[in-house]
C-alpha cells in the first residue's frame, strides 16, 4: 500500500513539531492560540490548531516549558507558555541534530532522482 501524503506528514511531524513549538517560544512566552496560529498557518506542521494542546501538555510534563497566567485585553486571562532552561537546551540539541539530518535526507532524495 502506498502511504498517503497525510500519513507521511503525520510520521514526519512526530518528533519534529514539538521542537517547532519550543522554537516559537524563543522570542518570549506566548499563549496557546497564538502559537497554534503561527504553526498551523500552512497546514504542514499541524493539521488543526487543536493538535497543539496535547503537545504543550507533553512538553510541560517533561519540564521543557512552564506556564503562568496573564490578563488579556480581549477576553479571559490566558495561560502563557515559556521555555525552561531545560527546554532551551533541548532545542539547541535538536537544532544541532536536525541540520545534518535534513541535509542527509535532501541529498539521498536528490541522488535518487538522478
Contact range with another protein by CB under 8 A, out of 3-11, 21-29, 82-90, 100-108: 3-11
* Residues whose CB falls within 8 Å of the CB of residue 30, separated by 6 or more in sequence, listed in order: 24, 80, 81
Which of 62, 72, 99, 107 contacts another protein by CB under 8 A? 72
Contact range with another protein by CB under 8 A, out of 7-15, 22-30, 88-96, 99-107: 7-15
> Is residue 68 within the footprint of another protein (CB under 8 A)?
no
Q: How far are the Cα atoms of 7, 90, 102, 106, 107 from residue 112, in angstroms, in the given order?
A: 22, 33, 15, 10, 9
Q: Which residues on neighbouring strands pair with residue 83, listed in sequence order? A: 65
Which of 16, 30, 38, 51 contacts another protein by CB under 8 A? 51
Which of 26, 44, 58, 105 contacts another protein by CB under 8 A? 58
The owner of cell 503561527 is 38
Amino acid at each position: 500500500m502506498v502511504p498517503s501524503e497525510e500519513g507521511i506528514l503525520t510520521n514526519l511531524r512526530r518528533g519534529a513539531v514539538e521542537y517547532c513549538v519550543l522554537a516559537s517560544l524563543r522570542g518570549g512566552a506566548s499563549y496557546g492560540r497564538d502559537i497554534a496560529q503561527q504553526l498551523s498557518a500552512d497546514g504542514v506542521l499541524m493539521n488543526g490548531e487543536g493538535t497543539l494542546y496535547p503537545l504543550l501538555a507533553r512538553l510541560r510534563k517533561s519540564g521543557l516549558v512552564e506556564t503562568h497566567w496573564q490578563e488579556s485585553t480581549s477576553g479571559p486571562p490566558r495561560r502563557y507558555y515559556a521555555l525552561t532552561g531545560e527546554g532551551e537546551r533541548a532545542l539547541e540539541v535538536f537544532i544541532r541534530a536536525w541540520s545534518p539530518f535534513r541535509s542527509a535526507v535532501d541529498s539521498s532524495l536528490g541522488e535518487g532522482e538522478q
